[in-house]
Amino acid sequence: MDIGVPSIRNLFRIKAERAFLWIAIGITSIPLHLLYNSAVYTSLAANDFYIFIVTNNHFEPGAYTNTSSPVFSSGSSWATLNATMGEEYGNFQLFYSMLEGRNTGTGRYEDLTPSQCAKRYNADFLSTNRNLFLITSHTSNATQNDTLLDWIDYSAVSPSRWICYDNPQGVSQNGRQCNPNELVSNVTRGLPWKINRTRVGLIEISGCKGERTAEKCKVQFSLGIMIAVICCNLVKACAMIMTVARSREPTLVTLGDAIDSFLRISDPTTMGICFADRQFIDGEWRRGLGTGPRQWKQNGAQRWWTSVSKTRWITCNFFFSITIFVSTVLLVFGIRHDGAQMKTDISSMWSRGFGKVNSVSLLTIGLRNITESVLLANLPQTILSFLYLTYNSLFTCMLAGHEWSLFGHNHCTLRVTSPRPGQRSTYWLQIPYTYAIPLMALSGLLHWLTSQSIFLARVEIYYPFGGEVSRRISTVGYSCIAIISVLILGILALLAAAGMGYKRFSAEITTVGCCSAAISAACHAWGADSEEIVGKKVRWGDVGCVPNLGVRHFSFPSEEEIGKPMFGEVYSGTEREKE
């Protein structure tokens, strides 16, 4: 069995009741990772809006405005405008008075310079503003006496794209797209803002008048998810209570628990192999071979990685490598998807931020409802939790091996779950705080970065004049810069584990890892009462020749003097064990 580390193998060797409780706690963890992160979520608000291009005298008294012009009387978008005017009649009337050139809406409509206008409306999911009047340098005259030149109906999703679709001058084009941030930068530096509309040709924007609105963001929660979370936690709490109430037998939680148990009650199945290591147990001993006297061939202290089985190393590295590879492939697709619409250099990705909903970095796959979005957004959290368990087990095994090596270095008090006189209690399980706290911080940081890498994107789109919500978007957003951060941190974590494994143990001693049989083989004492041994500081090492056998023996003796293993010397169990 495995001592002090989570192990599927142990489930087949414990009582059915305890195995059932363990499985119940494990299974109820899966829904928590899939759902809990999105039990409470924010819902962004965004406004559909109209953009009207007007002359510089549109808001002056006496200017002629033809709202029945063919420019506006046709088209599905204008039909939508007429259909939605009843959603919020006051707002529509205010807008219509602005459209007719009657400057009665100065309380809600504010004058903006070109730079202010470009900055304000260069935003994803516009929530603080909506309908906009672009004031040009043109003036209505006898030939062109209408102050309304053109109009644009644009969706709240990626509203800044209208800047690019109007063929702005002085902005580099990427295919049919441009970078709105480049135009904003140019206008801020004082360069003219010129656009080329089909109806009116090349015109310069000299100012704007934009409508201010109150933000309507919400914090929401899902009742179904909350019920599922409460039920899972209730099952966990009941399992924990049953474990505390019904489990009365001694436990083998720490390395000290196992040493105490095997010193008190000798295990006859491991007699005669006093320096068996984990590899020997997994190989020869399980096949009933090699239980006689053997030479000590180890020269020097082993490295920490030897206390971890090859299966555990391969499993951890394999799943980590697969996850890193898949994440890298998805990151490449995400960068390509973003690159079709804007720059994908590090500074541009950094400006889009961690976990921020934007119109570019959204999954375009068909998600039918918010539940599917929640499950997809939190799937990486479940995978990350499984990977962290395998990663944590590496450190648990290595630190258990380090603790075992201390018994070969000096006399140590047994660290047990329920201490007796001469023993000490445990304030940590197998990982000391100097390692546990950084590992917990690593886990928390990885989970947070993962939540910022792929996340639920919930947006409510309002009509251009307020009123009811016109439509809702429930999908999954992603952040390329956050994914890059997760990949870098994951690779560093693997390198840190490899670096820890390269350290050497404190003494030249057998590598038992977390293997109960190897620990048992090292705990066959002789020449003293077991109660006397476990109640003192103990040390493992060479106790000399066994009487009537002629070979040396390793054990935890009661004497203070104990020798180190001697290279090439033959060691075995005691004669009493052979009988």
Distance CA 483, CA 320 (A): 15
Distance CA 341, CA 157 (A): 14
Cβ(450)–Cβ(486) below 8 Å: yes
The per-residue pLDDT for 171 is 63
The per-residue pLDDT for 499 is 92
The per-residue pLDDT for 101 is 64
The per-residue pLDDT for 547 is 63
The per-residue pLDDT for 439 is 92
Determine the length of the chain. 579
Distance CA 391, CA 181 (A): 42
Radius of gyration of the chain from Cα atoms?
Answer: 36
From 445, 438, 434, select the one nearest 489 (Cα to Cα).
445
The per-residue pLDDT for 445 is 93
Distance CA 316, CA 382 (A): 15
- Laid out side by side, the sheet with 218-221 consists of 218-221, 40-47, 454-463, 466-478
Burial category of 477 from C-beta neighbours within 10 Å (exposed 0-12, middle 13-18, buried 19 and up): buried
What Cα–Cα distance (Å) separates residue 31 from each residue in 234, 355, 368, 371, 382? 13, 22, 20, 13, 9
The per-residue pLDDT for 576 is 41
The per-residue pLDDT for 76 is 44
Place of tokens 């309304």: 148
From 372, 366, 367, 349, select the one nearest 452 (Cα to Cα).
349
For the chain (length 579 residues), average pLDDT per consecutive 10? 84 86 89 82 82 82 65 50 51 69 68 88 82 82 67 61 64 60 81 79 85 82 86 93 83 87 85 81 74 77 87 88 87 78 69 77 73 84 88 90 87 85 78 89 91 86 78 83 90 91 87 87 74 81 71 73 78 51
Look up residue 335 and give its amino acid.
Answer: I
Cβ(188)–Cβ(118) below 8 Å: yes
Distance CA 392, CA 7 (A): 12
39-82 pLDDT per residue, tens: 888 888 888 888 888 888 887 776 666 666 655 554 444 445 55
Place of tokens 């962004």: 44
345-366 pLDDT per residue, tens: 677 777 777 878 877 777 777 6
The per-residue pLDDT for 159 is 52
Q: At what angle do helices 370-406 and 480-501 cross, to 10 degrees?
A: 20
Place of tokens 């489930």: 11
